[in-house]
A and B are shown apart, each in its own frame.
Chain A
Amino acid sequence: MATAAVLERETYLNASYGLKSWLLTKDHKRIAILYFITISIFFAIGGTFAGLIRLELLTPQADLVSSETYNKLFTMHGVIMVFFFLIPSIPATLGNFFLPIMIGARDLAFPRINLLSWYLLILGGVLAIYAMVAGGVDTGWTFYTPYSTSYANTYVIATALGIFVAGFSSILTGLNFVVTVHRMRAPGMTWFRMPLFVWAHYATSLIQILGTPVLAVTLVLILCERTLHIGIFDPALGGDPILFQHMFWFYSHPAVYIMVLPGMGVISEIVSTYSRKPVYGYAFVAFSSLAIAVVGFLVWGHHLYVSGQSLYAGLVFSFLSYFVAIPSAVKVFNWTATLYKGSISYDTPMLYAFGFIGLFTVGGLTGLFVASLGLDVHVTDTYFVIAHFHYVMVGGTIMAYLGGVHYWWPKMTGRMYPEHFARLSAVVVFIGFNLTFFPQFILGYQGMPRRYHVYPPEYQVLHVLSTAGATVLAVGYIMPLIYLIWSLKYGPVAGKNPWGATGLEWSIPSPPPTHNFDRIPVVMHEAYDYSAVPREVEVG
């Protein structure tokens, strides 16, 4: 990398060279970079599918692709985006890179397992892509039985195996993080001095550990059922298809929090840095992450209100669903309160953070609609739900991911990106996103069901708006790709701490050396103690 020429110091980037030194690395930072490249590719694939879906929906008739193809498109969009992009997105990249540094460790507890996780993700991805290339899969990312086990004629087995393998990648990452947070903290780094980013990842890891195995066994049963027809989910033999939905959502609902909690961690860091204030209510934000992780496991049945689940189970799950709203609301209120009387600068990451707070608020509040038993009957399985979870996943997670990438880019690469382009892209993403997904709330409320290839003409206007928004959104995503790569070579050299931020990662050089710290630091300050940060002017 070009940085080597400028910086004579040894960094994790120039410590050794060659493809092999990357593919066999045990350095959490290099593995994070491997993940960056991998998930960017998956994002591009998933995004292409999304683009094709939006293009097809421009008109009510089927004119771009056939029904079979359309069904494969939305399935593969979901599978790739959920299992191969969103789940690993922040934890495996930013988390992998910064979690050990933030707690003052040389590496994760199990570097080899960390590398293994990456290879598992690759293996899972290869299986999923094989399924795509061989002919695709059309069950929806939810694999509802008995369609997926007895009726679909597509590559269900390869896809399910791919997700199964990628699931282990996720489990091992979570395991690594939990052990690292428990056992690798530097002297003085008590639990309540940890950055909120670490808290969020800790909570995320708990979900990965406790939830993912259930998905794995569910997929195993799907594979058995599909190959052997032994009746586990087949009503003809006495099986119960709703059992599958319970097992699937036991993982897949908490999985939503695997995706969004790390984003919340990123936002906590960004909001604090660019207001130059500690996060308001630190302990509440920290514990709200744990509360979300725990309560998130008790609410999966709200995906099943109209599935034939018993009314009483619906009541229980609806009641508990509202409990998740509280810690989420607490976080939003605390971030907003952090701004109060702060010293706020509008750097790119902060713009993304503003976007996150706004969009997550909309996503969260519409969550109240779908958690309500009475309203959900109307809006479930419509575009309302699509819009709701895209506000959380795209408006939440991806905004936070982009914000985090911009925030830590100087630390990871040692280079600054062009600020003006970056701000522009943040604004373009925000506008494009809202234009894409806000009309879908209205569509859903008007009754447009999801996963429809052709649709009644009265919905067309809103679909056109949405597709137009998707175009803007795509531009917003491509811009950072270009200028970030450009900045690797031409960006101004970043100093140690360009933002005047707190946190151990800003106390070491950019990019960090292989072993992170010359000397394991002794932590003497609370998190976000800005009085402890030297107010130096950074020179490249």
Chain B
Amino acid sequence: MNEHPHQDPEHAEHIDSVKTYAVILVALLCLTILTAFVATIDLGPLNIIVALSIAVAKMLLVVLVFMHVRFSTRLTRVVLVGGLLWLAILLLFAFTDFNTRGLLGVPGK
């Protein structure tokens, strides 16, 4: 019975304050404006990295605070990380094909 829910000490209800939510909202809005602004300057390949980093940061804020993952069980986190890992598998392994086409110099290999 190691992880049965109602014996889980972590399970105690946690209610965030309005202030927390408001701060997060402001942070999200600022990040949106920031990322939209950065997109108009030429940083070379950094543009993609910045845009995606900001998106990841925003995702983390929403997931951790609005979706309460900060206080969730370990299992929820495993589910979340596992899901993202599988998305990575899909992209990564598909690109072992697309990114190595033509390396051999024989069309179609």
Among A222-230, A264-272, A296-304, A391-399, the stretch that binds chain B is A296-304
Task: Considering the complex, give the chain A residue whose CB is closest to the CB of B99.
Answer: A310
Q: Which residues in chain A, 141-191, are within 8 Å of chain B measured between CB atoms?
A: 182-183, 185, 187-188, 190
Chain B residues with CB under 8 Å of A190's CB are: 1-2
Interface contact B4-A246, CB-CB below 8 Å = no
- The answer to whether residues A311 and B104 also contact, given A210-B86, A250-B90 and a CB cut-off of 8 A, is yes
Which residue of B1, B3, B96, B109 contacts A316 across the interface (Cβ within 8 Å)? B96
Which residue of A183, A187, A301 contacts B97 across the interface (Cβ within 8 Å)? A301
Q: How many A-B residue pairs have CB under 8 A?
A: 59
Interface contact B96-A301, CB-CB below 8 Å = yes
Interface contact A312-B100, CB-CB below 8 Å = yes
CB B63 to nearest CB in A, in angstroms, measures 19
Task: Considering the complex, give the chain B residue whose CB is closest to the CB of A251.
Answer: B90
CB A109 to nearest CB in B, in angstroms, measures 11
- The answer to whether residues A185 and B4 also contact, given A210-B86, A246-B94 and a CB cut-off of 8 A, is yes
Chain B residues with CB under 8 Å of A246's CB are: 94, 97
Which residue of B96, B97, B103 contacts A242 across the interface (Cβ within 8 Å)? B97
- The answer to whether residues A297 and B89 also contact, given A188-B1, A313-B97, A313-B100 and a CB cut-off of 8 A, is yes
Chain B contact-residue range equals 20 to 34
Please tell me if B44 contacts chain A, counting CB pairs below 8 Å: no
Please tell me if B101 contacts chain A, counting CB pairs below 8 Å: yes
B1-32 contact mask (Cβ, 8 Å, vs A): 1 or 0: 11111000000000000000000000000000
Please tell me if B45 contacts chain A, counting CB pairs below 8 Å: no
Chain A residues with CB under 8 Å of B75's CB are: 182
Chain B residues with CB under 8 Å of A188's CB are: 1
Interface contact B108-A308, CB-CB below 8 Å = yes
Please tell me if B93 contacts chain A, counting CB pairs below 8 Å: yes
Interface contact B89-A311, CB-CB below 8 Å = no
Q: Which residues in chain B, 69-109, are within 8 Å of chain A measured between CB atoms?
A: 75, 82-83, 86, 89-90, 93-94, 96-98, 100-104, 108-109
Q: Once bound together, how far apart are the Cα atoms of A242 and B95, in whole Å?
A: 12
Interface contact B97-A310, CB-CB below 8 Å = yes
Report whether over half of chain A's contact residues are helix, strand or loop; otherwise say mixed: helix
Which residue of A187, A210, A242, A300 contacts B1 across the interface (Cβ within 8 Å)? A187
Chain A residues with CB under 8 Å of B1's CB are: 185, 187-188, 190
Interface contact A312-B5, CB-CB below 8 Å = no
- The answer to whether residues A311 and B109 also contact, given A183-B5, A210-B86 and a CB cut-off of 8 A, is yes
Interface contact B103-A310, CB-CB below 8 Å = yes
Interface contact B93-A310, CB-CB below 8 Å = no
Please tell me if A214 contacts chain B, counting CB pairs below 8 Å: yes
Interface contact A298-B93, CB-CB below 8 Å = yes
CB B94 to nearest CB in A, in angstroms, measures 5
Q: Once bound together, how far apart are the Cα atoms of A185 and B97, in whole Å?
A: 43
Q: Once bound together, how far apart are the Cα atoms of A359 and B3, in whole Å?
A: 39
Please tell me if A487 contacts chain B, counting CB pairs below 8 Å: no
Interface contact A214-B90, CB-CB below 8 Å = yes
Task: Considering the complex, give the chain A residue whose CB is closest to the CB of B92.
Answer: A298
22 contacts between A and B (CB under 8 A): A185-B1, A185-B4, A187-B1, A190-B2, A210-B82, A210-B83, A210-B86, A242-B97, A250-B94, A300-B93, A301-B93, A301-B96, A301-B97, A304-B97, A309-B97, A310-B98, A310-B104, A311-B109, A312-B96, A312-B103, A312-B104, A313-B97
Residues of chain A having any CB pair with chain B under 8 Å: 182-183, 185, 187-188, 190, 210, 214, 240, 242-243, 246-247, 250, 297-298, 300-301, 304, 308-313, 316-317
The 10 closest A-B pairs by CB, nearest first: A313-B97, A312-B100, A310-B100, A310-B101, A313-B96, A246-B94, A311-B109, A210-B86, A309-B97, A316-B96
